[in-house]
Amino acid sequence: MEFSVEEEGDIQDEAALLTFSEILFHAQNTAAEGERQRSKDTGRPKHYTGNSTRTLRRHALKRKRIAGTNQTFISSWITKKPEFEGVQVEGTESPYEVSSDVMAREEESSESASDSSGDSMGENPSRSSPFEMLFSEQEEQIQKMLEDIQNGQPPCDDSPETFTDSVLNALDYKDFPALHRAREKIAASSKDKKLDVVFRSRITAMLGALNLYLDPELSYGWREASLVASKSLGQGINHARNI
């Protein structure tokens, strides 16, 4: 059976919609597993190491807006405290340092999550190989994307930022509860068989992008997340901008 998709990226049957959903699930798991593996390989400490790419973009946007109003940045009033070599206060710890017990619990949790994920993949063969209904060309493109995101290289769109991008990049942790509630409603709609398949396929693409955007193990902006969802359908940048 063929993965029935029209030129504009609309899925035409239930089987193709299920395959698309499986690929999105597989893509998110692959990206998260790649992050866990890189963290383990590099021995990266489980404490604060700086802002994510998404946070840096949001801060840059806010600074640009403030600069446009000719206001003075608060950082201009702050003088860096001089550092003295050889001076170290014993008994002090970084406020972001995580205790060894907490690190051990996190590692156990991560390992158990990986094991359970592996078990579920084994029980459901379609999870590990959701490509049976794809055209060979589509399969090659999607497999290449999965390899890239596993290596920490999600697809990117280098075109100029749009107004929608600016709005989405301005979101922060205070907006996440509302986004999680929206995700629950979108997930319910994606399974509503009273809706036609074409409409549900678009809802599923939005759900896949939102899952990637909200995943705590990833730091995808909306552009990266929507482009992964689009490429999971064998589409590209233009389709991603409409998700």
CA distance 213 to 139: 24
Tell me the mean pLDDT in the region 54-60: 74
**pLDDT higher than 60, residue 125:** no
Which phi and psi angles does 162 have, rounded to 5°?
Answer: -95, 175
As a whole number, the mean pLDDT across the chain is 75
The pLDDT of residue 38 is: 87
Which three-class secondary structure string do you get for the chain?
A: CCCCECCCCCECCHHHHHHHHHHHHHHHHHHHHHHHHHHHHHCCCCCCCCCCHHHHHHHHHHHHHHHHCCCCCHHHHCCCCCCCCCCCCCCCCCCCCCCHHHHHHHHHHHHHHHHHHHHHHHHCHHHHCCCCCCCHHHHHHHHHHHHHHHCCCCCCCCCCCCHHHHHHHCCCHHHHHHHHHHHHHHHHHHCCCCCCHHHHHHHHHHHHHHHHHHCCCCCCCHHHHHHHHHHCCCCCHHHHCCC
Who has greater pLDDT, 11 or 114? 11
Sequence-distant (≥ 6) Cβ neighbours of residue 126 within 8 angstroms: 22, 132
Strand partners, 11: 5
pLDDT score, position 47:
54
Higher pLDDT, 71 or 163: 163
Confidence of residue 124 (pLDDT cuts 50, 70, 90): very low
Give the model confidence (pLDDT) of 139-177 as tens digits. 888 889 999 998 989 888 888 888 888 888 888 889 999
Q: pTM here?
A: 0.60
Residue 91 has a pLDDT of 47
- Confidence check: pLDDT of 226 > 90: yes
